[in-house]
A and B are shown apart, each in its own frame.
Chain A
Amino acid sequence: TQLLEQSPQFLSIQEGENLTVYCNSSSVFSSLQWYRQEPGEGPVLLVTVVTGGEVKKLKRLTFQFGDARKDSSLHITAAQPGDTGLYLCAGAFHIQGAQKLVFGQGTRLTINP
């Protein structure tokens, strides 16, 4: 069974604080994607990391792919209330001509003003 563990599952912090969300697996992925999902909506792609050790930045969000391509982290600097939402990591496995995504259970982030 392919498993992706996200931690923490819930996080509530004050505006302006920093935070890190972790995504871990014993499996090696061809790539890893981070999504953000609002209630009642589908996940929205934030970033894709492909190369082991890769770091990508999206404004105050920093994404890192582990050297062995088994884990990833999302770091948010100076969190704002607008960052509130469900963050999902998804590891990609090759299937016939495409990639199947295996999702973590998500981290529900609340930023309090």
Chain B
Amino acid sequence: DTGVSQDPRHKITKRGQNVTFRCDPISEHNRLYWYRQTLGQGPEFLTYFQNEAQLEKSRLLSDRFSAERPKGSFSTLEIQRTEQGDSAMYLCASSSGQVSSYEQYFGPGTRLTVT
């Protein structure tokens, strides 16, 4: 059974560098979500894909952030010109395409530290 996977699990980068994270959803899930979680807080919604289409973006997603899901399978989240405030856990989740399904399943996250 393969759940949601994320790579890398940890990333340490210097301020100003670009970073890219990858998420592989559960194979039959066509909906994919990105969230960000800072220390002591619950996750916050960043963006959502249905297949390859990015249908919703949070105002938290500044122009330094870009997400893609080119073939409707895996997704990437890129942060350009990283800042110390970008340090957080970046979580990916997926859900099925069934209209009645409300359940999102999360990956283990990528912890980003910007020094």
Contacts and interface: CB of A to CB of B under 8 A. Distances in A.
B104 A33 contact: yes
A97 B50 contact: yes
A42 B91 contact: yes
Secondary structure class of chain B's binding surface, majority of residues: strand
A45 interface: yes
B102 A48 contact: yes
Contacts of B104: 33, 45, 99, 101
B42 A104 contact: yes
Most B Cβ at <10 Å: residue of A90, A96, A97, A102: A97
Nearest to B110: A42
Task: Give the secondary structure class of A's interface.
Answer: strand
Nearest to B43: A103
B21 interface: no
Contacts of B44: 103
B72 interface: no
B95 A98 contact: yes
B36 to A, nearest CB: 11
Interface of A: 4, 30-31, 33, 35, 40-45, 48, 50, 88, 90, 92, 95-106
Given A42-B108, A43-B43, A101-B43, 11 more contacts: A40-B109, A42-B93, A44-B106, A45-B106, A92-B102, A95-B55, A97-B50, A101-B93, A103-B42, A105-B41, A106-B41
